[in-house]
Amino acid sequence: MSREMDWKLVEALRRIEGGNTAFDPADSSKEAFQDFQPLACALVEAQKQGHVDGVIPRKESIGGTLAYSTVIITGGLTHRGRQLLEKAQGHLTPNDRSLNSAFGHLPDQHLRSQWDKALSRRQSDPSGAITAARSFLESTQKWILEQRGNPISDRKRLFSATLQQIGLASQGTPMSGLLNDIDKLLLSIAQVRNQHGDAHGPSDDSSDLTSAEAALCVNVAGALGLFLLECHQAGSKA
């Protein structure tokens, strides 16, 4: 795979393929608008390069500077766009399509934004990908607890509190053993993040982190996040 691959463009096309038709900032803050600009530019560029039809961008003034506020997709991927995705196929993870489809219907844009950031950084910024993956996982648990009316701020209690809320905290069952192992995985991701992630500044050996190792961390965080979300949604419908 060429290192010149535009991964932000690829991720934009994947989201369109997954059914996303409207893109906008996670919230109304200036930082959210700034974070949204690379994705918006990628969507506009996708149309210019003939990868997608029907892209309608809208701008508004943010601090005296025009910035993209919304990008609407009225068409879909072209043959050229699908070819680009096929070219990138070797770098797709098993979770990408199911996660993108699930998150495409999630009413919280902040979670989708964090997941997109983790995906898009795997190749170009492994350290940043791990930080984004961990942030996504923490935010997912906080979101579930907020939706169930039991928000907490203690990170050490996030996972156990989330399991309690979605009815998976029972002890002595095969599932409880599996969930204990998952809790260990969460701690391992946190340790990798502290050593290699960019949240606290790079360590001396942070440059040794490979894109494959970053992808593993992102995949684990994504799989856990999807599992928790599906359990939450299933319980909400019961």
pLDDT tens-digit readout, 132-160: 888 888 999 999 999 999 998 888 888 88
d(CA 75, CA 56): 10
Q: How long a stretch of residues is the chain? A: 238
* Residue listed under structure tokens 């260990």: 184
Q: 95-238 in CATH: which number? A: 1.20.120.330
Neighbours of 64 (CB within 10 A): 5
Quick one: pLDDT at residue 46?
95
Torsional sign, CA 138, 141, 143, 146: negative
Q: Give me 201's structure tokens.
A: 């500044």
For residue range 51-96, list pLDDT tens digits in order: 999 999 999 988 788 999 999 999 999 999 998 877 765 455 555 6
Where in the chain is CATH 1.10.10?
A: 1-92
What's the pLDDT at 3? Answer: 47
> What percent of the chain has a predicted confidence (pLDDT) above 90?
24
| Element housing 30 (H / E) | helix 30-48
Which pLDDT tens digit goes with each residue over 153-175? Answer: 888 888 889 989 988 877 677 77
Q: What is the pLDDT of residue 185?
A: 76
User: pLDDT: is 115 or 135 the higher one?
Assistant: 135
pTM confidence score: 0.62
Contact 197, 127 (CB under 8 A): yes
The pLDDT mean for the chain works out to: 80
How far apart (Å, rounded) are the C-alpha atoms in residues 215 and 185? 15
Q: Does domain 1-92 have CATH number 1.10.10?
A: yes
Task: Look up tokens 């599906």; give the residue.
Answer: 230
| pLDDT, tens digit, 9 for 90 and up, residues 177-205 | 787 787 777 777 767 767 766 654 544 44
Exposure of 176 by Cβ count < 10 A (0-12 exposed, 13-18 middle, 19+ buried)?
Answer: middle
* CB-CB neighbours of 195 under 10 Å: 16
Domain with CATH 1.20.120.330 in the chain: 95-238
